[in-house]
Amino acid sequence: MAELHDLTALEQGAAIAGGELSSVALTDHYLDRIDREDKALGAYLTVTADLAREQASAADRDTADARRDGTRLSPLHGVPLAVKDLVQVADVRYTSGSRAFTDRIGDLDDHVVTRLREAGTVLLGKTNLPEFALPCYTENGLGAPTRNPWDPERSPGGSSGGSAAAVAAGLAPLAHGTDAGGSVRIPASACGLVGIKPSRGRISNGPSRPDITGLSTHGALARTVADAAALVDAMAGRMPGDVYTAPGYPGGGTLLDHARREPGRLRIAGLRAPMVPDAVLHPDCAAAYGAAAVTLAELGHTVEEVEMPADGGIVEAFTHVWSVEAASYELEPYEERELMPFTAYLRDVANAVTARQYDQALRTFRGVGQMLTDLLFGAYDVILTPTLAEPPTLTGELREDSDPAAEFARMTAFMPYTTVYNLTGLPAVSVPLSRNPDGLPTGVMLGGRYADEPTLVSLAAQLQATTAEVTPRHPAMW
C-alpha cells in the first residue's frame, strides 16, 4: 500500500476534498518525515510546524464547509508545500540564504505567498538556497549544504535546491522556487523533478523585491507535470503594482486543464549545442536529449535539428545585470563582512558597470527575445534542449572561493541552456525522462512562445507519460 507521500499532490488534494484524508494528518505525516530525514538532507532552513498545523486545521474546516455547501475549492486545498527562503512570509524567519540575515523575520507576505494562502495550501517551511539565490548550487554560510536525495555526495543544484531536494525526498509533495537564470529548472533536472518557469509576469514578483529587469520569476517544482501546473495556477495572477503582467493562456482554462490535454502534432526545433562559448555537452546529457528527440518523433511530432551560434555577448550582458542584482541588497558594513566570496565578487563587479553598459545589457535581452521569435518561433512551436550540460555535480565542485571569477565561468559552462529563457521572459519546463549510468537524473528542457505555457505543459505531460515512472519514485535516502 502506498504511503501518503507517494501520492501526487493532486491525489492528496482529491482525498482531502472527498473526506478520505485530513489535511492535519497529511501535514503531520510530512512534519514527522522532515524531523526524521532533514538533518541529513538539509532541505529546510526553517520548519513552520505550528503555522502548518494551524493552516491545516483551517483547511479541514473549510473543506467540511465546502462539502456541505457544494462549493468547489482549489485542487491543492489542504495540501502541504515548501516555499523558498527568498520570499517573505509574515512573522517567519527570512534569510535569503545569507549569514548577514540569519535572524531576520519577514514583515509581510509577498504576493506569491498571499496567493498560496488563498489557495488553501499549508506551509511546511522555508527551504535552503545559496546566498541571495546567486549561484546554481545550494551552499551558504548558514550551515551544511543541501544534499541531493539521489546521492549524498552530489549537489541538488540551485538556487532552488532546498525546494527540489524536499520534493524529491518526500519531505513535501511540491514546492515553490524562483528562477532568474535557471534556478527552478536546474535543480529539477538534478533531482529528477518537473520544473516550470512560467512566462514573465505570470506570477507577481511584488511587493518587497520587484524585479525590474524581468529576469526572475516564481516557479513550481513537483514530481508530475500536472502537480507543477496546479501549483503555477495557485501562484499566478496579477497583483497591484506589478511591473510585468502576462496575458491569459491561448484557449483559456487553467494550466492544469492544459496539462491533461493532448498537445496535437507540433513542430519542434532541437538545439543540441549550447549557445554559450566553450560550453561542452556531457555524453550523458546528450544521450538524454537524443532519447527525448526520438520519443517526440515517435509521438508524431516533427523534430528538426537547428544550429544557433554561440554568443559571448549574451554572457557579458547577463553578468552585468546579475552583478547589479547582487549589489542591490543594502547591507551594513558588519553585514558585508558576512558575505560569501562569490557574492562579494559580484558586488565588486557591479561597481564597474556603467549606466550605458547596463542599458545595453537590457537591450541585448530584448534582442535575444526578438531573435528567437523571428528565427525559431515563426517556424516551430517548441524548442528542445538539454536542461544542463552536465549531470549533477559533486557538492562543492562548482565553488571556487579563492577565485570567484573562475567559479562564475564554471557555473556558466554547467548551465548554458537555461538563462536564455530568463533574458527573454519566455516559459520553459524541465522534464525528468532519463537517468545516467550512475543512476542520476538527467532532464531535458522544452521552451515556448511568450504566454504559451499550455503547449509546453501539454507536451511535457505527454513526454512524461512515456516513461517507466510516470510518477517518479522517491529515492531510497542513502
Contact (CB, 8 A) for 161 and 138:
yes
Question: Which residues are registered as beta bridge partners of 221?
Answer: 175, 195
Nearest in space to 377 (alpha carbons), one of 317, 451, 288: 451
Contact (CB, 8 A) for 453 and 463:
no
The residue annotated as part of the active site, out of 159, 160, 189, 323, is 159
The residue annotated as part of the active site, out of 23, 98, 163, 183, is 183
- Within 8 A by CB and 6+ apart from 241, the residues are 206, 207, 210
- Within 8 A by CB and 6+ apart from 38, the residues are 44, 47, 166, 171
The residue annotated as part of the active site, out of 84, 126, 199, 204, is 84
Q: Which three cell numbers stand for residue 83?
A: 516555499
Q: Which three cell numbers stand for residue 344?
A: 562579494
The Cα–Cα gap between 123 and 128 comes to 15
In DSSP notation, 350-373 reads: HHT--HHHHHHHHHHHHHHHHHHH
183 is annotated as an active-site residue:
yes
84 is annotated as an active-site residue:
yes
The Cα–Cα gap between 15 and 310 comes to 49
The Cα–Cα gap between 229 and 232 comes to 5
Contact (CB, 8 A) for 216 and 206:
no
Contact (CB, 8 A) for 389 and 285:
yes
328 is annotated as an active-site residue:
no
- Catalytic residues, which ones? 84, 159, 183
